[in-house]
């Protein structure tokens, strides 16, 4: 579906990213402008709910990036014009990818960088691998993170270990279904908040303004029913593993909060929710809130929150474009790019090298850091 009326687009990259976007679309029903990109033809056919386009097909024979970061990057670079054509009507692109694989980790920074160059804003959700997936995948994810921070306007990192916290004794299939459903329903709630004309609205333009001034963020959702639902829903939100870790609310510089409820939501309940949310945040936090009333939420209250760790003053943004003299420590995404365009050799011939602070990130970590591998 096209984004031309809303300016919003949801994009999955790689196998996990596309599956999550598909799950969010299925949870929402009609009306989500969404698309996916993957290198793996078999996986791309297994995402009911979203159309997934193959990238890097000539280079990778439609077989996936095989966990190799440079394959994902090259696939995105090969097919960048086609990728951007699918996103041409969007002003704000919400990107979802799972780090640890080659496509999500390699293609996502390339696509984010190109979207920024086209003047679009990006809100990027990435999961990082489970501890049990091993050190290699974790290191790959850690390697991807600086590039994502550099190219996304707002980056939300979701460690899978935190998403699954408390579910360790559950069967893997069941736990993963539940956790994916939770993430998908979070994205779906965000979409409802943005697209349903609310009494107090939080529209795509507001989100656009927030992600333009923010950097890193955390994401959480919570639901409650019953007489004390306005108290319990805030308690549930503040104790959700994704928002509890790193004291996300108590350290937030800005907060986007959506309250989604049925027609039975009382004014006093909104008051209680906001009072408790403010109490959980620093005094000078900037809060943007929206309320959506929809019959599908009858009897319950749901909260969706994006807690921003950074919040730039508007003047600073203006100063950035006019070369202003502000002395605030630059955020990762504003730092002068010290990655340089360099031409690779061999199978990387003609392709942009990833050089950050003089280090060539195309060289495997163990070689760059001179780590001896056990055999
Ligand atoms: N929550 C969740 N995580 C997933 C899912 N599939 C994969 N992951 C995670 O995502 C990481 C990357 O896997 P994929 O998304 O399949 O990798 P990819 O981006 O397709 O890359 P290649 O397969 O190498 O082309 C894994 O290490 C897992 O941590 C999923 O369905 N749900
Ligand atoms: Mg894959």
- Residue 227: is it exposed, middle or buried by C-beta count within 10 angstroms (0-12/13-18/19+)? exposed
Domain co-membership, 188 together with 226: no
Which pLDDT value is given to residue 339?
38
pLDDT tens, the chain, 375 aa long:
555 567 899 999 999 999 999 988 888 877 789 999 999 999 998 899 899 999 999 999 999 999 999 999 999 999 999 999 999 999 999 999 999 999 999 999 999 999 999 999 999 999 999 888 888 888 888 888 899 999 999 999 888 888 777 777 778 778 777 777 778 888 888 888 888 777 788 888 888 888 888 878 889 889 999 999 999 999 999 888 777 655 678 889 999 999 999 999 999 999 999 999 999 999 999 999 999 888 888 999 999 999 998 887 665 444 443 332 322 333 344 333 333 334 455 555 556 666 665 566 666 666 665 555 655
Q: CA distances (Å), 53 to each of 76, 97, 112, 331, in order?
A: 11, 15, 17, 33
Q: Are residues 56 and 110 in the same domain?
A: yes
Spatial separation of the C-alpha atoms in residues 127 and 101, rounded to whole Å: 11
Asked, for residue 319, whether it belongs to a domain, the answer is no
Structural domain range at position 360: 338-375
Are 181 and 96 found together in one domain?
yes
Co-location of 171 and 114 in the same domain: yes
Cα of 183 from ligand 1 centre, angstroms? 14
- For position 104, which CATH number holds? 3.40.50.1440
Name the residue at shortest CA distance from atom 6 of ligand 1: 16
Residue 201 belongs to a domain:
no
Atom from ligand 1 closest to the CA of residue 65? 25
d(CA 287, CA 281): 10
Q: Give pLDDT, residue 152.
A: 93
Ligand 1 atom closest to the CA of 15, numbered from 1: 20
pTM: 0.81
Same domain, 17 and 158: yes
Q: DSSP readout, 267-325?
A: HHHHHHHHHHHHHHS-TT-EEEEEEEE-GGGTTEEEEEEEEES----HHHHHHHHHT--
DSSP per position, 34-99: EEEEESBHHHHTS-TTS-EEE-SHHHHTTB--TT-HHHHHHHHHHTHHHHHHHTTT-SEEEEEEEB
Q: Answer yes or no: do 163 and 45 share one domain.
A: yes
Q: C-alpha distances in angstroms, 147 versus 51, 113, 124, 126, 311? A: 27, 9, 12, 12, 20
pLDDT score recorded for residue 101? 92
Instruction: Judge if 183 and 42 occupy the same domain.
Output: yes
Considering the domain architecture, whether residues 91 and 29 belong to the same structural domain is answered as: yes
Q: Which of 21, 48, 98, 109 to mutate to test the pocket of ligand 1 (most atoms within 8 A of CB)?
A: 98
Atom 25 of ligand 1: nearest residue by CA position: 65
Note whether 297 and 182 are same-domain residues.
no
Q: Say if strands 355-356 and 359-360 run parallel, antiparallel, or are unpaired.
A: antiparallel
- Distance of CA 101 from the midpoint of ligand 1 (Å): 6
Query: Is residue 191 assigned to a domain?
Result: yes
Task: Report yes or no on 1 lying in a domain.
Answer: no
Pocket test for ligand 1, best of 100, 145, 170 (most atoms within 8 A of CB): 100
Question: By the 8 A CB rule, do 100 and 17 touch?
Answer: no
pLDDT at position 346, please? 52
Q: How many domains does the chain have?
A: 3
Specify whether 250 is located in the same domain as 297: yes
């Amino acid at each position: 579906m096209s984004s031309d009326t809303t300016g919003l687009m949801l994009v999955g990259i790689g196998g996990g990213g596309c599956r999550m976007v598909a799950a969010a679309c299925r949870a929402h029903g009609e009306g989500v402008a969404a698309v996916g990109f993957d290198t793996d033809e078999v996986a791309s056919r297994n995402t009911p709910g979203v159309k997934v386009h193959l990238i890097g097909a000539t280079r990778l024979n439609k077989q996936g990036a095989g966990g190799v970061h440079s394959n994902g990057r090259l696939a995105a670079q090969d097919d960048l014009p086609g990728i951007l054509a699918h996103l041409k009507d969007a002003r704000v692109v919400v990107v979802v990818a799972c780090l640890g694989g080659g496509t999500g980790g390699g293609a996502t920074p390339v696509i984010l960088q190109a979207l920024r160059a086209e003047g679009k804003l990006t809100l990027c959700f990435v999961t990082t691998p489970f501890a049990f997936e091993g050190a290699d995948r974790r290191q790959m994810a850690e390697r991807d993170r600086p590039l994502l921070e550099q190219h996304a306007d707002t980056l939300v990192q979701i460690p899978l270990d935190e998403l699954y916290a408390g579910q360790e004794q559950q069967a893997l299939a069941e736990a993963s279904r539940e956790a994916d459903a939770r993430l998908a329903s979070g994205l779906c709630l965000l979409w409802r908040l943005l697209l349903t004309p609310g009494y107090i609205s939080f529209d795509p333009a507001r989100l656009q303004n927030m992600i333009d001034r923010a950097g890193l963020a955390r994401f959480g959702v919570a639901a409650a029913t019953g007489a004390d639902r306005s108290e319990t829903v805030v308690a549930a939100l503040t104790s959700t593993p994704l928002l509890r870790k790193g004291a996300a609310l108590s350290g937030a510089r800005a907060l986007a909060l959506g309250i989604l409820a049925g027609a039975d939501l009382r004014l006093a309940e909104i008051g209680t929710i906001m009072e408790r949310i403010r109490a959980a945040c620093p005094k000078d936090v900037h809060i943007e809130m929206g309320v959506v009333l929809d019959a599908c939420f009858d009897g319950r209250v749901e909260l969706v929150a994006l807690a921003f760790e950074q919040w730039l003053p508007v003047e600073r943004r203006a100063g950035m474009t006019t070369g202003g003299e502000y002395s605030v420590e630059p955020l990762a995404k504003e730092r002068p790019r010290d990655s340089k365009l360099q031409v690779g050799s061999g199978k990387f011939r003609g392709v942009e090298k990833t050089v950050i602070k003089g280090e060539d990130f195309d060289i495997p970590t163990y070689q760059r850091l001179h780590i001896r591998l056990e055999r």
